[in-house]
Amino acid sequence: MRLASELVMAPISPNTGSVGPIEPQTADFSEPLRLASGQSFGPYQLVYETYGRLNQDRSNAVLICHALNASHHVAGSRPDDPNAIGWWDNMVGPGKPVDTNRFFVIGVNNLGSCFGSTGPASVNPMNGRPYGADFPVITVDDWVHAQARLADQLGIAQFAAVMGGSLGGMQAMQWSIAYPTRLRHAVVIASTPRLSAQNIAFNEVARRAIVSDPDFHGGHYYEKNTVPRTGLSVARMIGHITYLSDDDMAEKFGRQLRGSDQYRFGFDVEFEIESYLRHQGEKFSTYFDANTYLLITRALDYFDPAKDFSGDLSQALSVVQCSSLLVSFTTDWRFPPERSREIVEALLTQRKPVTYAEIDAPHGHDAFLMNDPRYHRLIGAYFDRIGQEAGV
């Protein structure tokens, strides 16, 4: 925070409240879902968590959409593991920016993921074997339709807000296009209306690393009892570089050597940044599914609501009925502020209500997950307004 000094003078309430241990729930969908690819898929299940209480008017529901490597476990801990803290626990909880004393918050694991919802590792009822490479290609729009069915099951006709960062922000935006009457606010953070060639390039290299790992077996590695761990680890390392800003990396690691101040003239870990990245890659490869990584990066590549409107984003957004909050971060070079501004301008062209904030934060793309007081105060203030509108 470059303006930290200013903020010290204006204390904010500490985000210490937790929703506590949370038991995930499962929703079953027997009717197949028609996908953007033309395929039908089903039956399937989605796992989800909820925090807070749905009010009588059913006017206080907030849907949180996850990004590449996250899940339905947004806030709180797990009954069996107090250290398994949700990925956006600093954002969602009692007294937090998305205040669970006021809102009924839903976190849902997307179709194709690897944290409980039906995905490539699930058993294909057609042949009794894991889907693997036979799992269909899924788009952001498909996820939104699957989430809408979950909302139906939960009896939520309209969300107070749909919210997400990065790929999660794409889903929030897609909600405002696909189901204009089913949300009052779209909160789109650190996102983009479409990947650039450079974004796609990074995804493609990551995918090449995975599919060329001999343990990948064309995506059917489950049956071979192998995991393309090395490829997945390299993929994660590539991704990780794009999540951090150059400056942030320089500040955290710089050229610091590991355990010495002299070069060792070899190829083992020499610099701290190498150690950090290897660790991140290896850790990721123990819990994430390689086929899911392929699917989700492809969903990122494909997202482009303007595509059916000859590239005119404002046309794509002409159906929007909700208000939108767009937030970007100055040092995010994955989805830099210009991309958010493109969405803002398209909404303004259509005279849709939109609020935009560009946060001066050093943490690159990952800033959307960080506990930045200015950012959290902004989201808190916006949700306070949403709460007032919802009568909570």
Q: How many CA atoms lie within 13 A of 381 on its CB side?
A: 10
Shortest reach from residue 212's CB to a second copy, in Å? 4
Site for a second copy contains 144 (CB under 8 A): no
Residue 89 catalytic? no
Q: How far is CA 333 from CA 206, 262, 312, in A?
A: 18, 32, 23
Q: Which is nearer to a second copy, 302 or 329 (CB)?
A: 302
How far, in whole angstroms, is CA 116 from its chain's centroid?
Answer: 16
Of 59, 113, 117, 166, the active-site residue reads 166
Stretch that binds a second copy, among 16-24, 122-130, 239-247, 380-388 (CB under 8 A): 239-247
Stretch that binds a second copy, among 164-172, 194-202, 313-321, 339-347 (CB under 8 A): 194-202
Sole binder of a second copy in the list 121, 205, 319, 378 (CB under 8 A):
205
Stretch 306-345 residues interacting with a second copy (CB under 8 A): none
Residue 332 catalytic? yes
How far, in whole angstroms, is CA 91 from its chain's centroid?
Answer: 13
Could you tell me how many helices (H) and strands (E) the chain has, helices first?
Answer: 11, 14
Distance CA 135, CA 234 (A): 23
Distance CA 206, CA 209 (A): 5
Among 233, 227, 166, 238, which residue's Cα sits nearest to residue 205? 238
Of 72, 73, 365, 376, the active-site residue reads 365
Stretch that binds a second copy, among 55-63, 76-84, 228-236, 353-361 (CB under 8 A): 228-236
Q: How many residues bind a second copy (CB under 8 A)?
A: 54
Residue showing tokens 């010290």: 8
Sole binder of a second copy in the list 62, 189, 190, 273 (CB under 8 A):
273
Site for a second copy contains 197 (CB under 8 A): yes
Residue 18 catalytic? no
46 forms bridges with which residues in the sheet? Answer: 27
Site for a second copy contains 214 (CB under 8 A): yes
Site for a second copy contains 253 (CB under 8 A): yes
Site for a second copy contains 7 (CB under 8 A): no
Site for a second copy contains 40 (CB under 8 A): no
Site for a second copy contains 209 (CB under 8 A): yes
- Please list the helix, strand and coil fractions of the chain in percent, rounded to the nearest 5, in that order: 40, 15, 45
Q: How many CA atoms lie within 13 A of 276 on its CB side?
A: 16
Sole binder of a second copy in the list 27, 121, 137, 348 (CB under 8 A):
137
Stretch that binds a second copy, among 211-219, 324-332, 343-351, 384-392 (CB under 8 A): 211-219
Q: How far is CA 341 from CA 313, 336, 378, in A?
A: 12, 9, 17
Contact in structure between 15 and 4 (CB atoms under 8 Å): no
Interstrand relation of 161-165 and 61-65 (parallel, antiparallel or unpaired): parallel
Distance CA 226, CA 185 (A): 44
Q: Which residues are catalytic?
A: 166, 332, 365
Q: Give me the residues that bind a second copy (CB under 8 A), please.
A: 36-39, 136-137, 194-198, 200-202, 204-205, 207-209, 211-214, 230-231, 233-234, 237-238, 241, 244, 246, 249-250, 252-255, 263, 265-267, 270-271, 273-274, 277-278, 281, 294, 298, 301-302, 304
